[in-house]
Amino acid sequence: MDYIFHFGPILDRWDQFLRGAMLTVEISIASMVFGLIIAVIGGVARTFGPAPLRWLIGAYVELIRNTPLLVQLYVVFFVLPGLGLKLTSDQAAIVALSANLGAYAIEIIRAGIEATPRGQIEAGLSLGLTRMQIIRLIVLVPALRAIYPALGSQFVLQLLGSSLVSAIAAEELTAVANNIMMQTFRNFEVFVIIGLIYFALVQVFQTVFDAGYRRLFRWTV
């Protein structure tokens, strides 16, 4: 039997898609910001910190990188309330996504830091710079320039990975799509629409990241 496409009932619910897309963007941006903070602190501490701290951060990285994001979402949303920390679905999504991104980005930042030539660090020491000044002025800026494309790609994956938070009832784009499919029974049309929306969001994010690179590092290009 030939399938007849019918986008009318789907497009009539454009406001629901818009709300879902906006929440997807909000969750993604919030988790990117917090994840990057975790990554910078963790990357610096894992490179220059004392051995116990390096081991602790390494254990966190391995734990997150070797468990599924969906499991991490369930732990944050269902287990933490049992420990006295009750979060809404949106808050749990941001916490889980931030922790996930932070673990992957720590390794990206650490690789950038370790790529800094030793001679530049020794030159900073000879000029009398403090440890924090060397990290901030000599290590982090060149490292961030080198790893910026990799971080940008990780951020795009973060945006796409946010689709999993529908599993904990966060009303983002995929959750909205599931609701519309149950209302209209037009599964294929809904998947086409959200696929196009995700594609458009990725293109916008990629454009912003590229503009940010030119803006932040134009003096070294």
Q: What is the pLDDT of residues 81-129, one digit of tens each?
A: 888 888 899 999 999 999 999 999 999 888 888 777 777 777 777 777 7
Can you give the CATH number for the domain in which 147 is found? 1.10.3720.10
Residue pair 156/206 in contact by the 8 Å Cβ criterion: yes
Give the range with max mean pLDDT: 13-17, 60-64, 143-147, 215-219: 60-64
68 occurs within a structural domain: yes
139 has pLDDT over 80: no
Which of the pair, 85 or 61, is modelled with greater confidence?
A: 61
221 has pLDDT over 50: no
What are the tokens at 134? 């060397």
194 occurs within a structural domain: yes
What are the tokens at 109? 């930042």
Percent of the chain scored above 90 by pLDDT? 39
Give 147-182 pLDDT, tens digit per residue: 888 888 888 888 998 889 988 878 888 989 988 888
Q: What is the pTM of this model?
A: 0.86
165 occurs within a structural domain: yes
State the pLDDT at residue 125: 73
| CA pair distance 201, 80, nearest whole angstrom | 31
Residue pair 38/99 in contact by the 8 Å Cβ criterion: yes
State the pLDDT at residue 140: 74
- Please count the structural domains in the chain: 1
| CA distances for 10 relative to 131, 175, 191, 195, angstroms | 58, 14, 10, 13
Q: Among the residues of the chain, which ranges form H helices?
A: 8-11, 14-48, 51-65, 69-74, 89-114, 118-126, 131-133, 141-161, 173-184, 187-216
Weakest mean pLDDT among 94-98, 114-118, 183-187, 200-204: 114-118
- What is the band of 69 on the pLDDT scale with cuts at 50, 70, 90? very high
- Mean per-residue pLDDT for 71-80? 92
Domain span holding position 160: 8-216
219 has pLDDT over 80: no
Q: Which amino acid appears at position 214 of this protein?
A: R
2 occurs within a structural domain: no
86 occurs within a structural domain: yes
Residue pair 104/65 in contact by the 8 Å Cβ criterion: yes
- What is the band of 63 on the pLDDT scale with cuts at 50, 70, 90? very high
1 occurs within a structural domain: no
* Start-to-end C-alpha separation, the chain: 58
44 occurs within a structural domain: yes
Which residues fall within 8 angstroms of residue 158, CB to CB, at 6 or more apart? Answer: 28, 31, 32, 35, 97, 100, 101
3 occurs within a structural domain: no
220 has pLDDT over 60: no
